[in-house]
Structure 1
């Protein structure tokens, strides 16, 4: 049977476990009680027989001998006012005794055991006999000195009354207590699961897009790891959603204008009948599409950096090798811009732990940003070295530079300096900043040692 709720599952599991433990214990206790009662009753029979033996020895057999065939009979009736009278039955009628002389005659007996046949030669100690409608437990004690045999007996229905009382004593607590226990267990489980209900309410009332962690007052120790994992998962989910929203906003912002420009150029080319004018508008449309492709590439680079931060998979990267690859990729752009680029490799290799795509994007955008702000004939110097426990990347140019008061704002998305040339879109330094954050690196915008220009220094901590 499948239980719908954790509360019901816990309640019935606890009840079943209690039944599985208490029921065998009750049965064992009941059997032990019955065994103790039987041993106690047998002990009373033996003690009664030995008491009679002492009395017979002191009184003598002649004083006990009767005149009829059954000897002296001890009556067992009690008056109705006797406290032993209960529901028409008497406790006295359930016990009795016999005293048999050497010749086998009953000299003294209770009326309820007077008709019990004399014992055989092999009868001794305890035995079960049938007398009339009742079954008796009889103890036989022969006295070798006087030749007297003393027999004491107890009816089994007396013991059965004790057995029924013991059964009721052991079973009633289970029959009455288990339903009550089930109710109390249900209340205890419901109270114990109250933190889960609080967690459910906290999650239900949480606003979409909220970055606040889920907090429960006095959360139990078992729930604290769940809260920590849940808050971590919610934070990662919100970060992913934020990246998606940011990327969508970037795309909508950056692609609207170039797409409109391309559409206008294409419509103009289709509307004109002058081949020269149509060719010029088509060339403009081609440049617009090329710029659009470049802008999409930068937006995708930002998206890849965000995804890299979420993946958390780092590897050993040689910064010098990455820089050589980036320079080879930018060779046509460097040649077209008429700018001199120099690469100072102060150490053969500088190994860092990080993301190769992010480091490549960092170096590429630093170089492109420098090339974009330099006039023809300018110089850009790239240097990579290891200083202490950090890898230092310096990109130095001799361009117009950036005033100190505006350096903090150049990392904003879509920010462009007035001195830039070419088809920049204000995303380069934003990509550099995000790549640096992924590697716990610091970025500084400093004055160029050439007197004019800018020096961008990135310090990446080594493992």
Structure 2
């Protein structure tokens, strides 16, 4: 079943609401008008009777009766109406009156009401009386001063013609206006929904991976929150996709070292004939694989932190203990590089509030980068301290270093300086930067005190 369009839903809802409001109002207005017309017609009958009362008071009713013997009938004349062929018709036949003397005898009447029986004492002022094929609305006035009873009447078909005109006047605007209103409402809704059509076109033409916000010229106020929320969701989606891409690259980068170390030890075990050396290399391989498993867990934890999925708050992390674990994990890398690693700490503990997985990744990548660039027999130093600004991490090497004008670029993913040693992928400092961002830490790339090389300084501020 085809779903209704928003345009169709709005159009029919507006029409139904208008009909629900206008039709009852029209019915109530029609009923009120009918009641007012009836009261006005009754008022005319009463006024006609009062006028006859005044005229009879100035006339000699007895003389008229004596001259005309029994009673005086007022004739009703017909006139030619309409275009040829003309018809004989008169509206005078629709109204009439009667006058009765004190004895109850009809003294004066119009021809059309001559056959109506005289009123009774119990009759109300206004009543309905049937005479021949017509139903009459009559008003009875008892004139005690002139000792007469005056009765005026009006045919109901005359009133019905007025009612028909009133009904036509009330119903015609609704019968004609509602369809016309439906067309105009449809046009207005189509015009009002143009911003949604523009939004659809903008989304359809949007390039995958674009970070440009969706903009609509002269967007209505009601659509601006939708645009803001949509742009926010698109940004979050692109960030999530970027995190996925970076995580894939980071996994390859982070797992390369422990996997290579385990493979070297296994290859040594396969070629060794000495049982003691075999046990040693297998133990080293097992240790490397355990380190690989730990690193996978750390990568997953770091990914959850970046995605905002960490369930707990920051915890207390001892940087000295983390550094010791990282140095132990990197023992094969240190031995292979031929560089001398020194660890300087001025206090037994340097505790911070943070995420252990992120800080472990930060220290490991700083040391790996330094070991990769330090020459054989070179020096790499890790120092931890606490200052007024917060916890201080310094990693210094005596390698070729990075020119000052290039240091701002090394944090970009996959960026590698020309002449870099090793087979890295240019992700180490990018991971360091993201881990530091999780702790509001600052990173500085400085000149090494060894004369050549690089000093990386990370300052983790205390919690607010």
1:105 matched to 2:113: no
| Native 8 Å contact 2:350 2:384 kept in 1 | no
Which ranges of structure 2 fall in alignment gaps of 5 or more residues? 335-339
Aligned to 1:363: 363
- Number of equivalences: 451
CA deviation string 1:194-229 (max 9, x = no partner) = 100111111111122222111100001111111111
Once the 2 structures are TM-superposed, how far is the Cα of residue 239 of structure 1 from its aligned partner? 2.6
Structure 1 residue 324 displacement after superposition: 3.9
Give the Å deviation of 1:383.
1.8
Q: Classify 1:113/1:219 alpha carbon distance in 2 versus 1 (closer, same or farther; 3 Å).
A: same
Q: Which residue of 2 aligns with 1:37?
A: 37
Which structure 2 residues correspond to residues 8-87 of structure 1 after superposition, within 5 A?
Answer: 8-65=8-65, 71-80=71-80
Query: Structure 1 325/87 Cα, relative in aligned 2: closer, same or farther at 3 Å?
Result: farther
Summarize the Cα distance change of 1:410–1:286 in structure 2 as closer, same or farther, 3 Å threshold.
farther
User: Residue 254 of structure 2 contacts residue 295 of structure 2 at CA under 8 Å; is this kept in 1?
Assistant: no
2:320–2:348 contact (8 Å) kept in structure 1? no
Q: Distance in 1 between matches of 2:455 and 2:248?
A: 33
Question: Which one is further off, 55-64 or 156-165?
Answer: 55-64
Preserved contact between residue 370 and residue 380 of structure 1 (Cα < 8 Å):
no
Question: 1:6-45, CA deviations, whole angstroms, 9 ceiling, x for partnerless residues?
Answer: 0000000010000110111011100100010011000000
Distance 2:3 2:67 in 1: 80
Q: CA deviation at 1:154?
A: 0.5
Aligned-residue offset at 1:255: 9.3
Moved more, 361-370 or 292-301: 292-301
Quick one: structure 1 residues 365 and 227, their matched pair in 2 at CA, closer, same or farther if it must change by over 3 Å? same
Q: Which residue of 1 aligns with 2:306?
A: 309
Separation in structure 2 between the aligned mates of residue 184 and residue 55 of structure 1, nearest angstrom: 60
**TM value normalised by structure 2:** 0.80
Structure 1 portions without partners, runs of 5+: none
Residues in 1 aligned to 2:225 and 2:38: alpha-carbon distance in whole angstroms:
58
2:385 aligns with 383
Instruction: Give distance in 1, aligned partners of 2:346 and 2:86.
Output: 116
Give, in whole Å, the separation in 1 of the partners of 2:368 and 2:431. 12
Report 1:348-359 matches (<5 A). Answer: 349-351=351-353, 355-359=355-359
Distance in 2 (CA, whole Å) between partners of 1:359 and 1:255 is: 17
- The equivalences for 1:20-419 within 5 A come to 20-65=20-65, 71-80=71-80, 89-248=89-248, 305=302, 307-311=304-308, 316-318=313-315, 321-330=317-326, 332-333=328-329, 337=334, 339-345=341-347, 349-351=351-353, 355-370=355-370, 373=374, 375=377, 379-387=381-389, 391-397=390-396, 399-400=398-399, 402-405=401-404, 407-411=407-411, 413=414, 415=416
Cα offset, 1:408, TM superposition: 3.9
- Structure 1 residue 121, shift from structure 2 partner: 1.4
Displacement of 1:331: 5.0
CA distance in 2, matches of 1:8, 1:204: 23
**1:242 Cα deviation after fit:** 3.2
Cα RMSD (Å):
4.5
Seen in structure 2, the aligned counterparts of structure 1 residues 454 and 208 have a Cα distance that, compared at 3 Å, is: closer
- Retained in 2: the 8 A contact 1:382–1:396? no
CA distance in 2, matches of 1:5, 1:251: 47
1:330 and 1:347 map into 2 onto residues whose CA distance is 16
Shift, 1:430, TM fit? 2.3
Q: Structure 1 residues 410, 34: CA separation in 2 closer, same or farther (over 3 Å shift)? A: closer
1:393 deviates by 2.6
